[in-house]
Amino acid sequence: MVGPPPGALNAVIDRAAALLATDPPGAERAARSVLAQAPTDPRAMLILASARRRQGDAQGALAPLERLASAFPRAARTRYELGLCLAAIGRNADGIAALRQAVSLDAELAEAWKALGDLLFLAGDTPGSEAAFANFSRASVRDPRLKGVAQALFAGRTNDAERAVQAHLRANPTDPEAIALLADIFVRQSRRGDAEQVLARCLELAPDFHGARFTYAQILFQRQKAPQAAPHLEQLLARDPADAASRNLLAACLSQMGDYERAGALYEGLLRDYPSQPRIWLNYGHALRTIGRQDEAIAAYKRCIALAPGLGDAYWSLANLKVASFSGDEVQAMAAQLRRPELGAEDRLHLLFARGKAMEDAGDAETSFASYAEGAALRRAQYPYSADETTALTRRLQATFTAQALAARAGAGHPSTAPIFILGLPRAGSTLVEQILASHSAMEGTMELPDIGHIAYDLDVEARRRAARYPAGATDLGPEALQALGQRYLDGTAVYRRLGRAHFIDKMPNNFQHVGLISLILPGAKIIDVRRHPMASCFSAFKQHFAEGHDFSYDLTDVGRYYRDYVDLMAHFDRVAPGRVHRVIYEDLVEDTEGQIRRLLDYCGLPFEPGCLTFYENDRAVRTVSSEQVRRPIFREGLEQWKRYEPWLEPLKAALGPALEAWRG
């Protein structure tokens, strides 16, 4: 009997393969029709097994896949399908092994890299998962003209990759794959603002480019634009509700937006699905800490350490609670991890900061300072900082926002009196002042809002087009433009206002650099400068590892110069706009709490309320590193802690210069 011609079988096989993604039962029927005529056709057998797995019968697909893998040991797609089946029946370790074989046979098999990344994430192997996803991004590039760009990017040659992709885009300006690659390059170069812009363009051209949409959401979140990121993640989850990466990022966005109930539910769902993934336990701990569930946060951090003993961020998160000491066993465990030569720089610096806190609690100032200094040096090497640039910005701000310039535009911005800005240096007492004000019935606490910084960034982008720098052009804006910027701020911060109170607090410390801008666009806003003794403030910042930003704080000279510029700039505004800024001295607040609170409320135009004195009873969510401290009554113990470290702080004193004596203003 003569069988069907090969061409006819090939056509049926092609049709069966095409049906797999959208119609697995149809793919199975087509594969069976081929096998009825050619019982040993390996292509049809592979399609049949894949169709069975996609319909939920991974166990039934396993035996034929194992036979295929044995008969064709170099067939990458067979190993890929076998890995998925093994994972589907709970044999994750075997699934990982099969997927590793698949990518070793075909490094361009993007879907195998993605599946491997997912399984490694499930197993708690975060570095392995990240490496697999990086390979997935590389292998996902289909245009052969862009393969070289992807290879250069994967190898870390970002400048070569940028030159090549820019050349491609000059000839193909609407190629979404090339635009997405350019965004990846910008991310590697820490140019997140540029990455955000090109990804927005990419999604205009290709709305179904799901990988670009996820990266866009990541960038928005990293730039503290969680309200803008969340809808993109909702869109991705509507397509794939089980996607762990999108669920995890959405939970982080919701936390940033203050929707802690939904964020917690997402984390709890992720932990049911991925109980061995340490970073989900870590993020869940952060969410619990923010809403004041301290014991549960500690348990989550400790579970994270049990799963990943080298994950320094978990130890630092425990240290960052500021209210509990490490046990002897935990100190020994940190020391053991720090002795590992293969420990990564990120884990090492987190462990060094955590050990610094442990030694501080133990009264060993010398070892404590050495740990803080070593961790700070590692951090500074990762994110270089220029004190000269900060000083240059200070001088531009002073030259731009003169008494004449501010008087000429008085009242030109948005008339709202709702915003209350608390600013200064981190670790100076701003969270305490926020907690006090947020305990008033007319005041709502939010968090450190990024919106003023975003407006300043956009003004800087516009200034650069004219070969200038921020704040150039700010005082040239007309009343309509200033009012529009004020409205932009109010619209952008509305998502954080949930109580409908007359006033809300924006506690972004670095907004001290934007007092002039705030005065132009929101002339009715109140501005509170919280200040602490320079040695206490600067050393407290130096020994604090911040999640992001504050790159000035990882060198004693840099932080001293930063404080000096801050005092200099605020003195300028005291001269050109007397009374515009209300100053709270932290030490005075500790010594005369009620008197200072009454002065503060008078400035805000609010009557005194006793609840402001019992601020520690306020159960609002607090996101900053002082979250646990402001849930206790004011204490004096921290006022002079820096003096124990005075023998090592001479560079700080030298950098502070006259600010060391004239810091009160």
Residues 76-108 pLDDT 10s: 999 999 999 999 998 989 999 999 999 999 999
Q: Is the peptide bond before 534 cis (omega within 30 degrees of 0)?
A: no
- Strands ordered across the beta sheet of 419-424: 443-447, 503-506, 419-424, 526-531, 581-585
Q: What is the pLDDT of residue 422?
A: 98
Work out whether strand 503-506 and strand 526-531 pair parallel, antiparallel, or are unpaired: unpaired
Give me the half-sphere count of Cα atoms (radius 13 Å) on the Cβ side of residue 213.
19
Which is it for strands 503-506 and 419-424: parallel, antiparallel or unpaired? Answer: parallel
Structural domains for the chain? 6-167 (1.25.40.10), 387-662 (3.40.50.300)
Predicted confidence at residue 2, as pLDDT, reads 44
Q: What is the pLDDT of residue 626?
A: 47
- The 10 Å Cβ neighbour count of residue 144 is 7
Count of residues making up the chain: 665
Give the residues of the chain that fall short of pLDDT 70. Answer: 1-7, 323-324, 618-638
* pTM of the complete model: 0.83
Summarize the chain as % helix, strand, coil (round to 5).
70, 5, 30
State the pLDDT at residue 124.
79
Name 427's Cβ contacts closer than 8 Å, sequence gap at least 6. 532, 537, 540, 541, 544, 625, 626
Residue 311 near residue 283, CB atoms below 8 Å: no
pLDDT computed for residue 6 by the predictor:
59
Sign of the alpha-carbon dihedral angle for 377, 382, 383, 387: positive
Check: CB of residue 542 under 8 Å from CB of residue 556.
yes
pLDDT at position 367: 96
**CB–CB of 98/86 below 8 Å?**
yes
